[in-house]
Structure 1
Amino acid sequence: MLRDLMKTGSFAVLHFSVGFGVAYLISGSLPVALGVALIEPAVNTVVFFLHERVWKRVGNDTDVSHDPPRVEDHHSFSSLRALALHG
């Protein structure tokens, strides 16, 4: 959870900086740029945090190991041999 909060905080700073810069370039107005840069990233930061939490939960529910299954995890050699001979 702490990592998620730190990641969200760094994203907020980056997003604020970009939002302010773009809004200032477009409007040429410091008050307008500040307003845009405060409102939009604040809302987006909360949405980002929630988005990360959902994906973390989804990832845990559907986490599939990329290692190939091992025979000894599911069957003994004798049961596999019997399956192969009678299967």
Structure 2
Amino acid sequence: MARIVHAHLPTLKKTASYYVMHIVVAAAVAYAVTGNLWMAFTLSLLEPTVQAVAFFFHEKAWERRAVVA
């Protein structure tokens, strides 16, 4: 596991910073729409978590594409 983390550290750091930013934006939007703080926090954690995982694999696909091109 440590080898995988080390090999992908720049992408993992970028993913983590994107995740935090996304949670803040999602919480603000969810609160503006629902007016419910609990719902806003729930939505802001669920959706960005799924997006962060998708983002990591998206970045890896683009890196592979760059190598082939």
Shared fold (TM-score greater than 0.5)? yes
- Which residue of the other structure, out of 32, 37, 42, is the alignment partner of 1:25? 32
Q: Which residue identity is paired with 1:56?
A: E
- Which residue of the other structure, out of 31, 35, 41, is the alignment partner of 2:42? 35
Matched residue, 1:6: 13
Unaligned runs of 5+ in 2: 1-7
Q: Which residue identity is paired with 1:38?
A: L
Alpha-carbon separation, structure 1, partners of 2:48 and 2:22: 6
Offset of residue 48 of structure 1? 0.5
Alpha-carbon separation, structure 2, partners of 1:13 and 1:60: 29
Matched residue, 2:68: 61
Offset of residue 37 of structure 1? 0.2
Offset of residue 12 of structure 1? 0.1
Corresponding residue pairs, total: 62
- Would you identify which runs of 4 or more consecutive aligned residues in structure 1 move more than 2 Å? none
Unaligned runs of 5+ in 1: 63-87
Alpha-carbon separation, structure 1, partners of 2:24 and 2:57: 21
**Identity of matched residues, %:** 40
Offset of residue 22 of structure 1? 0.3
Q: Which residue identity is paired with 1:25?
A: A
Q: Which has the higher contact order (CA 8 A, sep 6+)?
A: 2
Query: Cα RMSD over matched residues?
Result: 0.5
